[in-house]
Amino acid sequence: MPQRKAGSQDRSPTFFAPEGTRAKALARVVEPALDERLVERARRAVARLGTRGLPRSYFTTFWLARGEEPANPVEEAVQSLWRVAAPGPSCAGAEWWIGRSYTTDVPVGFHFDQDVRASRGLRHPLLSSVFFFNRVRGGHLAITDQRAGPSGQPVPVHPSALEAVAPRRNRYAIFDGGLFHGVLDARGRTPGGRLRATDGRLRVTLVVNFWARRPTAVPRWRDTRAYRALGGARTSR
């Protein structure tokens, strides 16, 4: 899950990349990543959620354990992406969520993925990954070479390398789960608040983090009342 503690997210108005910062391949990008029929089934399931509760999207996460049968089309996609990402035998399962936001109103800043409910310490996934359902203006996944310092701050203060991955249908980006990253807005900048532009399109992604140990208090989808429309019934949650 994205980090949510005080000071954990960089909401400066522009993504600061000082002179000398170099473009570098920090992610493995696969496309097409999934069978198009599975992409369409999963996308239809997500569409049944509508657009209510978008700010909660990035913080409503679920757990799919190794070897567990998928309970909805999105979990079928998670299972297939697992094979593509190949996190290795130490992976106990996948934490997944549906990232839904307009590129003119991105609800999450730059952050580290971590076990946000852990009582102490910083624990990151083995791999983080983002699957894109659609193409939008802006909305790039931006990954830096920064890692978390002792108190969770990005180290070094400014990145020496970065990579930006543009949203494209059936494109899948896999990267080290300990790297600082975020979503750029419709202008290609770090989100700093809602933009006045009216041409922001809904960016829809499936985010999958692969863990050696289940993150604290992350439930299985089948055990919750959230996002029941994924299984076929329309819901307003």
pLDDT tens for 120-179 read: 889 999 999 999 999 999 999 999 999 999 889 999 999 999 999 999 999 999 999 999
Let me know if residue 127 belongs to a domain.
Answer: yes
Asked if residue 17 has pLDDT above 70, the reply is: no
Can you give the pTM of this predicted structure?
0.89
Let me know if residue 224 belongs to a domain.
Answer: yes
Let me know if residue 151 belongs to a domain.
Answer: yes
Let me know if residue 174 belongs to a domain.
Answer: yes
Strand order in the sheet with 161-165: 22-23, 161-165, 141-144, 181-183
Let me know if residue 17 belongs to a domain.
Answer: no
Q: Which of 73-82, 163-172, 181-190, 228-237 has the lowest mean pLDDT?
A: 228-237
- Structurally, how many domains does the chain consist of? 1
Q: Residue 183 sits in which domain range?
A: 24-231
CATH of residue 142: 2.60.120.590
Please enumerate in sequence order all residues whose Cβ is within 8 A of that of 221, keeping only pairs 6 or more positions apart, or say none: 62, 64, 71, 72, 75, 227, 230
